[in-house]
Structure 1
Amino acid sequence: MFKRILFPTDFSEPSMKVLGYIPTLREAGTREVVLVHVIDSKDVTLIASGGQGFLGTVPDQETEAQKRLREEIHHHIINTRRALEKQGVEVIVRVPIGSPGKEIVNTADVEGASLIVIGSHGRSNIRDRLLGTVSEYVIKNAHQPVLVIKRDVAAQK
């Protein structure tokens, strides 16, 4: 029933809780996981501009910041992919740039996902306290069923 699932992650602890549910999803028929990490276009703009510090923008620092971000994302993707493959699923990796919620919904459609499994942050404003803005957007706009993995109550304190 859920042969191909979409696993969006920002590599935070709440989003990575999804890994613990992969064995159960495999028992339910999951064979492929589309691992998605969206690079927020707002972050790209900030990094590309170098930020405006006390001494202004330094071009060498822009390049170094971009390189560090790329290496960090690459490292997280490799580790997450390995963890998924150890659980016996095929992994497809996608790293779109844009608005996280919109890119997750779009990737689920393009990849033919039968289920989206997303972790919940719940760390934004009061209205979004229970889910988080990205999770809420995905729930409201996805064309597939969405399984939300709650964050630990103890982690909120």
Structure 2
Amino acid sequence: MFERILFPTDFSKPSLKVLDYIPALQEAGTREVVLVHVLDPREITLIAAGGQGFLGTVPDRETEVQRQQREEIQHRIIDIRRVLEKQGLEVTVRTPIGTPGAEIVTAADADGVSLIVIGSHGRSNLRDRLLGTVSEYVIKNAHQPVLVVKREAAAGR
């Protein structure tokens, strides 16, 4: 039923919690995973400016910080890909640049996935209510079913 799924990740604990659900999804027919990490232009600008944001200048050449960030992303993607491949899944990696929610929806459509499995931070503060979260955007705009994996609740909640 869910042969090809899309797994967007920002490498946070809530997004990586999706990995816990992969065996159950395989039982439901999952054979392929499209792994997506969206490079947000706002973060790229901050990194390019050496952490100074829009007040700094963007150098023409890759800085040491940019190189380290790029390598860190590559390593994390490779690590997740290996975990999925060890479980017998075919993995396609996408690293688009843009607004995370919109790029996730676009990737889901372009790759013809049957399900999007996304982690959620589960925050509900005013900022998130006004601006929306990535998972909320995906739920509202995706053309496929969306499975939201919530973060673990803190003890005592």
TM-score normalized with structure 2 length:
0.87
Aligned position for 1:104: 104
Rounded Cα–Cα distance in structure 2 between residues aligned with 1:25 and 1:51: 40
Rounded Cα–Cα distance in structure 1 between residues aligned with 2:48 and 2:127: 32
Aligned position for 1:114: 114
Rounded Cα–Cα distance in structure 1 between residues aligned with 2:115 and 2:134: 16
Rounded Cα–Cα distance in structure 2 between residues aligned with 1:5 and 1:14: 17
Instruction: Indicate the SS of the match to 2:2.
Output: coil
The 1:6/1:156 distance shift into structure 2, 3 A limit, reads: farther
RMSD: 2.5
Q: What's the CA shift for 1:40?
A: 0.7
The 1:156/1:7 distance shift into structure 2, 3 A limit, reads: farther
Letter in 2 for 1:84: L
Unpaired runs of at least 5, structure 2: none
Rounded Cα–Cα distance in structure 2 between residues aligned with 1:124 and 1:61: 40
Rounded Cα–Cα distance in structure 2 between residues aligned with 1:136 and 1:41: 20
1:84-125 C-alpha deviation (Å, 9 max, x unpaired): 111111000000010000000000000001000000012463
Rounded Cα–Cα distance in structure 2 between residues aligned with 1:84 and 1:138: 23
**Identity across matched positions, percent:** 75
Rounded Cα–Cα distance in structure 2 between residues aligned with 1:101 and 1:153: 24
The answer as to 2:86 corresponding to 1:86 is: yes
The 1:156/1:92 distance shift into structure 2, 3 A limit, reads: farther
Map 1:9-88 onto structure 2 (within 5 A): 9-52=9-52, 59=59, 63-88=63-88
The 1:46/1:90 distance shift into structure 2, 3 A limit, reads: same
| 60-69 or 6-15, which deviates more | 60-69
CA contact (8 A) 1:9 1:36 kept: yes
Rounded Cα–Cα distance in structure 2 between residues aligned with 1:37 and 1:46: 17
Corresponding residue pairs, total: 153
Unpaired runs of at least 5, structure 1: none
